[in-house]
Structure formats: structure tokens, C-alpha cells
Structure 1
């Protein structure tokens, strides 16, 4: 009888309450729908010198004037001089906004002169060679800078000359030489993971299109600043208002 009584009153294990399950799920954000990592890319062939396009991409202070969802952009740190005695952006404060929300966060920047501009936020780390970034040695191993929008975000712009020779209209035995046009392949890669499921939900409709939207906006800016006799960016990287990137 006593054994039966003990078995009856012994506390039984209970299932976790819904509230505790919800609390754990919310804290463990990576498991929530929409906060998984995403990778997007877009490419354009533009009829301009790669050096001129790189000048525009490295002008981080101007991002807010043409990139969608970028409300403000300000370079706050610069690199040491590179082998050509030029300095490049190494840190910037960016304000982004969409759907009535606005957030400001800090990005680390790495510039491979004439080729790559990379911006990293949150836990993102660079895969660029340290030997190509000697001028960024002071910030290359800097710790991650957390923010309220992204767990990690990496934005990489890459430019390279795209040499195109117009067809001759003759059989392949035709050895005539035709001057190559100044063209550049511009490639944009975005890798990001939201830290807040609210932002993931708000951006769900537009997020897959962001890379294409950004590169189209850049193409419009390039056309505006590089075309015609009043072009704002010259071949040496200077602008019509005297500003020079990598000065």
C-alpha cells in the first residue's frame, strides 16, 4: 500500500510550456523563417573604363545619393597609403531604411585598388588575401561590429576590363585588327543574414531583387557621371568638383 501511495504522489515530468518554447525559439533566431543566410549576385557590362567605374564604387560617401535603401553614408576611417601613396575607405557608417524602419550600422571596408570594394557588417569576414590589403593592415583583423539589422552582411563589387572586338563580318581567316572598345564587367555579390525576423519579413518581397536593383542604380549613376563632355569623373579619378577618391 505504501509503495502504491509513493508512486501516486511522486512528481511527474511535465512538458515545457508553450511560453517557454516560444521564448527559446525567439532567442535562437537562426531557426526562424526568413533569417537564413542568402546570397545574391548581378553582373553588367558597361561601356566605360574600369578605372573610372572603380572610382565611383570606392566613393562610399556618395552611396546614399544613388543606392536604393541607403539613406546616409559616411566614411569614418581611411586606410594607410597603398603602394601608390593613395588612401582608401576602411570604415563607414551607413543608414538603411525600408517599410518605415530606419537603422544605422557600421561597415568595415576593404579596397583592392582598381579591382574590388568590399563592405562587411556584423559577423562577416573577408576572404580577400591579406597580401592584397597591406594598406588595410590596421583593420584587417578587427573584431566584428554587431548591429540590429544583420547578423552578417558582405557586399562585394568587382570590376575588370572586358575587351570586346567588333566582328569583322568576314570568315575566321580574316586577320584584320579592330580596336577594342573600353568596356568593363561589373559584378556585385551580396551575402547576408538578418538578425531580426521583423526585418526579414519586411524585406521578403524585395530581398531577392536587391542585387539587380543596386547594379541598375549604379549603371544609371555611371551613365550620368561618365558620359558626355561634362563628365564628372575623369580618367585620372578626379571629379569635376575637385574630389578624388584614393587621394
Structure 2
């Protein structure tokens, strides 16, 4: 069953600052409690392939995405491999004025089998649902 999440927030930070925060996947374990680890598989200027390990308690799963970057404007997320039948998302950073922006996060996902839907489904739904809030908190911590 395909699930989708769409969240947005207006923040008092420039689009370039919020883009940099989301693009820096190696920092995710520092502030995302569900992120157990990140390994950049293939770095690049216009796209990055990264393997994320997510989990809570004894439950852990890893997946790899390719993030296609449009500097300071957008990050498109594509599934490379992992426990999903489908995973596709997009971050957008829309400048409101020189010092603020609207962040928009859209994600569609479907786990590969019924067992994963029962075990990993609730955790991944929570992750997707709280992603924008987590990055807004990180921005407040870093940028004041």
C-alpha cells in the first residue's frame, strides 16, 4: 500500500541555509534520533548516493537513495535499494524574501512486503511525518 506524506514550514532562514542543512546527509545521525548511521556511497556535486541506517530499539534497516540536487532550490530522492517497493521524494526550498523560505517535503513510499509493513511501517511513517520539524529544530540550533 503506497503511503504519502506532504509537509511544509515557513522558516526565518534563507533557502540556501536550509538546502545546505538537508543536503549534508553525513550530519543526520547528530540530530535525527532514528538515524543510526550514514555512509556516502557515491559523492557528487549534482547527486549523492547515500546509505542510511534507520532504527528504534532492536529494529534496524538500511536503504540507499540517490539525491539529485538543484543547488539552493530542490533535492529529489530516488530509491537505489532497500526494504521498499517504492520510495520517491522531494525537498523544495522556496525563497520568500532574502532571509526566509518555505520548505516543502513530499514523500511516497511502499514497503516491500507485509512483514516489513507491520514492523518498519509505523517507524517510517513517523520519520516521514516529523522530518520537516526535525530540520527546523536543527536550523534553530545552528542558526539561532
User: Structure 2 regions of 5+ residues with no counterpart?
Assistant: none
| Counterpart Cα distance in 2 of 1:146 and 1:116 | 22
Offset at residue 222 of structure 1 (A): 0.4
Question: Which of the pair is proportionally richer in strand?
Answer: 2
> Is it true that 1:97 corresponds to 2:55 in the alignment?
yes
Please provide the CA RMSD for this pair: 2.0
Residue-by-residue CA offset, 1:148-178 (whole Å, 9 max, x unaligned): x111212321101123xxxxxxxxxxxxxxx
Name 1:137's counterpart in structure 2: none
Name 1:157's counterpart in structure 2: 91
1:60/1:206 CA distance change after superposition, 3 Å? closer
1:207/1:90 CA distance change after superposition, 3 Å? closer
Name 2:140's counterpart in structure 1: 223
Q: Does the 8 Å contact 1:159/1:187 carry over to 2?
A: yes
Aligned partner (choices 201, 206, 210) of residue 127 of structure 2: 210
Corresponding residue pairs, total: 144
Offset at residue 191 of structure 1 (A): 0.6
| Counterpart Cα distance in 2 of 1:197 and 1:146 | 18
> Is it true that 1:184 corresponds to 2:118 in the alignment?
no
Higher Cα radius of gyration: 1
Residue-by-residue CA offset, 1:14-69 (whole Å, 9 max, x unaligned): xxxxxxxxxxxxxxxxxxxxxx1111111010001111111111101112222342
Bigger relative CO (Cα 8 Å, ≥ 6 apart)? 2
1:73/1:89 CA distance change after superposition, 3 Å? farther
Aligned partner (choices 51, 70, 73) of residue 16 of structure 2: 51
Helix, strand or coil: the match of 1:44?
Answer: strand
Helix, strand or coil: the match of 1:162?
Answer: strand
Q: Does the 8 Å contact 1:75/1:89 carry over to 2?
A: no
How high is the TM-score relative to the length of structure 2? 0.87
User: Structure 1 regions of 5+ residues with no counterpart?
Assistant: 1-35, 80-86, 122-144, 164-180, 228-247
How high is the TM-score relative to the length of structure 1? 0.53
Offset at residue 204 of structure 1 (A): 4.8
